[in-house]
Structure 1
């Protein structure tokens, strides 16, 4: 190394040509440090000039402009911030915890330990997870058992149960009274001991450390938004109980929600869990993590209410709220089996509302929570959807499920905590911000034969829950309606805030647009359009990156059992085809992921499906349109929409209680007009600028004509339905979104003929409907295999009960169905079938 440096110095010395005069002694140039610096400067300058000349030559050769290039990597677009509470019902809560700065932050993986938690030191860096868990805040979890047993309401419930037993047994002696009172008191004690939570700070921290280690084994990340966490921290400092109301997707939901709260130093809640999870080891673990177990069926004897058990549960939750505990329960009651949000059950929510109304708590902050997974951790619900009974959880099955999960990839799990809102504010605004649900919609037509069997317009918007804790005999009707309105508001907010994962988007596109398969590039282009529509609708996605990479990632997660990747013989990447597996039972599992996107298009799909009766009557089928135009009046279109909303009232929460359903339909009509599916006759051949001017003039005229005389003379417009080109393709896409549900209801109406002159048990009737559905699927009457699900059939039976077509009673713990006497004939059943079949795609006569 020294020789090389010496040789280089000598070379410089020999070739140096100084600018100054030579030395007087030997006339040789003087080599100094400054001379070496000057040489280095000249050398580097010469290199820069040479590179600059070369660049100019290249630019001239390829005719490049010498202007500054635009930034090839523009800043990423901010994702939409979801989860803000309703500005109509809770405007103060919306402004109270709003942090506009943190909204612009991106979501973060909570499994990544923050560097600031790991202080300097070898041990804290080596055992960073253990150090993080060790430094978590300790919370106080007071035991309220003694307070519950002294509560006056519980004592009254015990006394009522004693008097009821005395009356049924026809006993009057004091000995019997004392014995029954002692029995029910000891039973209340046992119920409470079996129910109450035993939350432990040590077990919470230990479980958090285990989750830090295990979750990366089968999940790539657990994602939450920093702004949501900050809102929860600020809400926790208000000294008001936080009531978390999440959607239910997996048994992992409540564990991960408590985990995210704990590692952010937010008090974890007490969680209402079903007693089916009280299994060895795991049941004890859940109790230590905050679970309190409640019965799935509170009344052991059919037709008789267990007042003691209900009073213990009610009093326990009330005292926990009074003691400052946070609470958590699932508003859907159980896990969704279809992938779409279930209708709410207001039983436990009624306790929270009751605690506020009777002054037990000053206020409570309700926190809707949206949870979603790229791949479901609990497997699938195909067995149950095909009519087989649910398998009870056991210790062995739990171990087997955990082992299976740890050896598979489930992608990303996303948790969105909506903005907390005040229960006090929501209750106070309930009477003001609750318009008539059918505003803007005409009344629905009755069933054929003059039998008015449809539900009222109010019930269309708010189908009350039948799972109230005390029932209509104890809770006032106004309070029950209030609880149901809050529950529906929460479900709507959770559904709108739920992130769409990559598997949801790809499965939805495959089943609604490309059931026959599509090339990888075409599917990626369709995903680009879907992402734009979701962004315009204010929905967030749980994925980023190029759509081509997202499709490949989702196909890999879904697996070959649900999606097939077919490569050509020559191996060309551009022609890779992605095809959904549409055979049973695989398509039912694939539809689970697809249904998460259905809620975004449900209003548009109802509108498109409502057009089909008119189109079929005018053209005899969609395939025979040939570019023709079909006229449909505004009033008839609204009437058909209202009729279809009534049919699907147990499937979706179409809007919030403070919204008008008619305004949403009007927005959907404007959307179809913007896509040129609907157009006014006089605008059909006008330019875009002329159409805009006419729309502006019409809107101005509608604002001016506000008097009763003007409204009485105002005639609603008539539309032309465009059935060619892209318009027909988009209309067919919207119809396919709800086609599986419509087919299920139509076949359920067809199967009513099996009840003529007889009665059937609920399970036998469900199996008969599924068998009929399989027959119609093989015959081509229905085209979607995912229609063969138990949940839509159960909802169809609820609808027929609501219409007065079906009636039921219980005998020996078995629910028996039979036709109402006015519909107990083939002719009347056929009328119900034809009423539903109007909305079916290319319906064929089956009766």
Structure 2
């Protein structure tokens, strides 16, 4: 997959066990203004190739790296490291203040309950003694929690042995090694040297697709002479033997949910303060959990909130952010992901599964891992820049943008920070050959594709990826045919089958659901084109010639706006604004001869449609963009249809609340039924992750109302907002195909792929509506029965809200409206 651009770009480092080799690369150096760069003096491959290669050789060809002595960063791996960190946490003023506050609160409660007699002449002394006891007890609890949480960089012999062991295991599975850009590594080392001088932490924020993510990052840092980062990990990984191993290799364990535990929350904040003040490198996954779909998930703000608080409070001066992309030829866990997405509960991690899972992958040949580092940037600089912007832009609400404690300010900064990091990860991500092959196979109309056509479409897609500013993984000077064969070999016959004995070998998707994981690795590059194609499809699907299929610009822009807002939680958009992005996309499609644009006398776009050349080519490029987005449109349509069935049956009031997980399970069952009956084109549309995202998006828009109880035993519940509730026939009780939610569902359906044996309108208004109604009625019956039998108490999901929950719901509805007004975004 070599190209001309490979010859003047920095080579990659290929790390395979002890050996490191240089390979030609498709690296494209990002444009960074000198005043924006964190480091300015570094050899560049294009300008000084000999000096550049000499700098690389200084640390990749030496023998001293195994000792892990000359490390860039703060001292780690010495006896007493854990006690040093623990003592700093326990003496943190933030923690001491919280412990004193909690003790005072408890003493006040005991006074109120009469456990401390205020009339006792020794009351003051007893009160002080009791307070001292409480403080001591809280400190003991804190010490135990801290010991379970912190990473324990104690022993260099341990980490040397761990590096050797993990390297051997990883490279048995990923037999082609770990690839990283040499230029990015040199840049990162230069930034790390500056950070070490300033006692600043580098916060690595990688995407998360596999458990191998953090393993590969630790291996890279070790091999390239950087201080290992402390890695945020869920305490579900802290099981016997493995948990201790990971903790001594860098894992810090935190709970999945903190609830209202103020002490634990303060402990985590104090630990992060200690790490950032001490200049220790830090790593957390911006998406929270692993992506089961192959594309980036929306950002999770939990740990970022702690980091931001450290800076906004002034306890930490600055930290360096480094977004990281990790891509795979094949992800070990994808088969398990499919099982989870189809509704099978995720199994809790344990040693037996860990060992059996490990042994099962050791015999596999999964290709390689590609790790890319974005240009690091100052978090303080980011905060200052956005505070200045927010203060200079008039706001419809009264907010003091200088108040560092303002929750409005923090939420806006957090959201902007999270999506900037995701955008940076997408910007440096490498498209693997397996992703190219998977994308081609899932964006063709036929059952399969011949070898010649597969090569032609992979070559076309490679050119499109590069034209969009993306990177394509390279294999030196290997010819395209060889790269495709390698990719097919890695995917295996369980994902891609081949029919022999024909005029030419013909390939087909065996497991489309699992293969979609690899297709989703490319969709971020073409999301703008896909949205335009889906909007244009509202006319193209009607058939006929250009007179019927052409669409006025206003109608197209309206549908693109609707779809982009619908998928706001699914995809990462450019921050340049819809109007600019739409115009840029249309001009690009026009230049590619996919669409034909008609302009008015002022030069403005009046209408557009498919070009003659695109029609002559069988709409293959237009169809490509449609096939990318159609599964997501199907999933959103399915979620919306399932909501129609949540309208209370006749005789039921609107105060019945349904368990969120059961409503989503019902939607998934509806989807499976519709797929097998031919009313749903894509089986992957029933995946639980996308359905959950759709429900979350509908809740953000006020279509759904979701209540979360303070009692952790009571699961979240939902209902349709009254103003969105579909009407029923007063005599038959049947759902009526009209109203606000129906119109919303139809607007999604207008961009759906038209099935061979159906027409959407009539099908949905009769049989599909009847099916979702039946499933919805069952949910209401189950909820009412559980309430009558008293199952809602002590761990169930009560069908009705308490007075306090109703009050909190009213507050939540008002807060959502205020947030939507604050964001100033387009809404559904």
| TM-score bucket of the superposed structures, by smaller chain | 0.7 to 0.9
Question: 2:536·2:609 contact (CA, 8 Å) conserved in 1?
Answer: no
* CA distance 1:400–1:86, shift in 2 (3 Å): farther
Q: Per-residue displacement from partner, 1:479-520 (whole Å, max 9, x unpaired)?
A: 221122111101111012111111111001100125511001
- Of residues 414, 422, 428 in structure 2, which corresponds to 1:497? 428
- Correspondence 1:798 to 2:742: no
Q: Residues 26 and 474 of structure 2 are in contact (CA less than 8 Å); yes or no, is this contact kept in structure 1?
A: no
Q: What is the CA–CA distance in structure 1 between the aligned matches of 2:308 and 2:280, rounded to whole Å?
A: 16
> Do residues 831 (structure 1) and 760 (structure 2) align?
no
Give the direction of change, closer, same or farther, for the CA distance of 1:388–1:85 in structure 2 (3 Å limit): farther
Is there any run of 5+ residues in structure 1 with no aligned partner, and where? 1-71, 119-130, 300-304, 438-455, 459-471, 684-697, 703-714
- The separation in 1 between residues aligned to 2:490 and 2:631, in whole angstroms, is 24
Cα deviation digits, residues 655-685 of structure 1 (max 9, x gap) = 24xx3332221111101212333323479xx
Task: Give the deviation of 1:330 after TM superposition.
Answer: 0.6
Task: Give the Å deviation of 1:522.
Answer: 0.5
- Partner of residue 602 from structure 1, selected from 517, 527, 551: 527
Deviations 1:228-270 (A, max 9, x none): 1111111111122111111111112112211111111111111
State how far apart, in whole Å, the 1-side matches of 2:392 and 2:571 are. 18
For 1:223 and 1:75, locate their aligned partners in 2 and report how far apart those are by CA, in whole Å.
Answer: 15
Map of 1:755 onto structure 2: 646
How many angstroms does 1:748 deviate by? Answer: 0.9
Match of residue 440 from structure 1: none
Distance in 1, matches of 2:291 and 2:396, equals 27
- 1:368 Cα deviation (Å)? 0.6
Question: 1:629 Cα deviation (Å)?
Answer: 5.7
Q: Please list, as runs of the form range in 1=range in 2, the aligned pairs for 1:692-703 lying within 5 A after superposition.
A: none
Match of 2:98 in 1: 157
C-alpha distance in structure 1 between counterparts of 2:136 and 2:688, whole Å: 45
CA distance in 1, matches of 2:287, 2:40: 28
Deviations 1:542-594 (A, max 9, x none): 2333222222221211111111011116xx6xx0000012xxxx322111111
Contact 1:436 1:660 in 2 (8 A): no
Q: Measure, in 1, the Cα distance between the counterparts of 2:407 and 2:201.
A: 25
- Alignment check: 8 A CA contact 1:435 1:660 kept: no
User: How much does 1:360 deviate?
Assistant: 2.9
Q: Which has the higher contact order (CA 8 A, sep 6+)?
A: 1
Question: For residues 354 and 102 of structure 1, do their structure 2 counterparts lie closer, same or farther at Cα, with a shift above 3 Å needed?
Answer: farther
2 CA distance for matches of 1:85 and 1:490? 17
Alpha-carbon contact 2:151-2:251 (below 8 Å) kept: yes
Query: Matched residue of 1:197: which SS?
Result: coil
Select the residue among 309, 329, 333 that pairs with 2:264: 309
Distance of 1:114 and 1:99 partners within structure 2: 15
**1:86–1:346 CA distance, 2 compared to 1 (3 A):** farther
Aligned to 1:81, which of 27, 30, 46?
A: 27
Q: 4+ residue runs of structure 1 moved beyond 6 angstroms?
A: 72-75, 102-108, 112-115, 433-437
Task: Give the C-alpha shift of residue 274 in structure 1.
Answer: 0.8
Asked if residue 677 in structure 1 is aligned to residue 594 in structure 2, the reply is yes
Is the Cα contact below 8 Å between 2:324 and 2:373 reproduced in 1? yes
Cα contact 2:39–2:191 (8 A) shared by 1: no
Trace 1:280-679 onto structure 2 (pairs within 5 A): 280-299=240-259, 305-380=260-335, 381-431=337-387, 476-513=407-444, 516-544=447-475, 545-568=478-501, 575-581=504-510, 586-616=511-541, 621=542, 624-626=543-545, 628=547, 630-656=549-575, 659-679=576-596
Does 2:725 align with 1:813? no
1:258 aligns with 2:215: no
- From 697, 706, 717, the equivalent of 2:606 is 717
Is 1:273 matched up with 2:233?
A: yes
Shift in alpha-carbon separation, 1:116–1:716, aligned structure 2, 3 A: closer
Within 1, Cα distance between the matches of 2:345 and 2:302?
25
* 1:137 shift after superposition: 2.8
Distance 1:389 1:672 in 2: 43
SS, match of residue 271 in structure 1 = strand
Task: Specify every segment of 5 or more residues in structure 2 that has no aligned partner in the other structure, as ranges.
Answer: 10-24, 117-126, 398-402, 649-655, 728-737, 766-828
Cα distance in 2 for residues equivalent to 1:136 and 1:553:
38
Shift of the alpha carbon at 1:82?
A: 5.0
- Cα offset, 1:105, TM superposition: 7.8
Give the match's secondary structure for 2:45: helix
Deviations 1:183-225 (A, max 9, x none): 3322222111110110132222212222343333222211111
d(CA) in 1 for partners of 2:47, 2:471: 13
Shift of the alpha carbon at 1:838? Answer: 2.3
What's the CA shift for 1:177? 4.4
CA distance in 2, matches of 1:605, 1:103: 38
Q: CA deviation at 1:157?
A: 2.2
In 1, the alpha carbon distance for the partners of 2:340 and 2:252 equals 26
Q: CA deviation at 1:409?
A: 0.9
Q: Tell me the TM-score normalised to structure 1 length.
A: 0.75
Measured after TM superposition, the shift of residue 145 of structure 1 is 1.1
Q: Deviation per CA, 1:396-415: give whole Å up to 9, x if none.
A: 11111111121111111111
SS at match of 2:435: helix
Q: Secondary structure of 1:267's partner?
A: coil
DSSP 3-state at the match of 1:253: helix
Which residue, out of 140, 148, 153, partners 2:75?
140
Return closer, same or farther for 1:801/1:115 CA change in 2, 3 Å cut-off.
Answer: closer
* 8 Å Cα contact 1:344-1:487 kept in structure 2: yes
Is 1:525–1:547's contact at 8 Å kept on the other side of the alignment? no
Distance of 1:211 and 1:384 partners within structure 2: 27
Counterparts in 2 of 1:213 and 1:680: CA distance versus 1, 3 Å? closer
- Checking the alignment, whether the CA contact within 8 Å between 2:27 and 2:181 is kept in structure 1 is no
**Once the two structures are superposed, what CA deviation does each residue of 1:719-756 show, in whole Å capped at 9, x if it has no partner?**
34447223733222211111001001101111113311
Would the aligned equivalents of 1:83 and 1:497 in 2 still touch at CA under 8 Å? no
Q: Equivalents in 1 of 2:5, 2:561: separation in Å?
A: 46
What is aligned with 2:652?
Answer: none
8 Å CA contact retained: 2:342, 2:687: yes
Which runs of structure 2 are paired with 1:721-740 in the superposition (5 Å)? Answer: 721-722=610-611, 724-726=615-617, 728-740=619-631
Q: In terms of Rg, which structure is larger? A: 1
1:844 pairs, out of 730, 748, 760, with 760
1:383: how far off?
1.6
Query: 8 Å contact 1:83–1:418 — kept in the other structure?
Result: no
How many Å separate the matches in 2 of 1:528 and 1:103? Answer: 30
What is the number of equivalent residue pairs in this alignment?
Answer: 681
Residues 85 and 421 of structure 1 are in contact (CA less than 8 Å); yes or no, is this contact kept in structure 2? no
Contact (CA 8 Å) 1:105, 1:227: kept in 2 or not? no
Give secondary structure in 2 for the equivalent of 1:680. strand
The whole-number CA distance in structure 2 between the counterparts of 1:354 and 1:552 is 50
- Are the equivalent residues in 1 in contact too, given 2:39–2:190 (CA < 8 A)? no
Equivalence for 1:225:
181
Kindly provide the CA deviation profile for residues 360-405 of structure 1, in whole angstroms up to 9, marking residues without a partner as x. 3332111111001111123430121011211111011111111112
Residues 597 and 605 in structure 2, CA contact (< 8 A), matched pair in contact too? no
TM-score w.r.t. length of structure 2 = 0.76
Partner of 1:65 in structure 2?
none
Quote the Cα distance in structure 2 between the aligned partners of 1:501 and 1:649: 26
- Deviation larger for 171-180 or 630-639: 171-180
Please, what is the CA RMSD of the aligned residues? 3.3
- Picking from 54, 62, 73, the partner of 1:117 is 62
Asked whether 1:770 is paired with 2:725, we answer no
Cα distance between partner residues in 1 of 2:283 and 2:108: 39
Question: Cα distance 1:223–1:718, how it changes in 2: closer, same or farther (>3 A)?
Answer: same
How far is the alpha carbon of 1:280 from its aligned partner?
Answer: 1.2
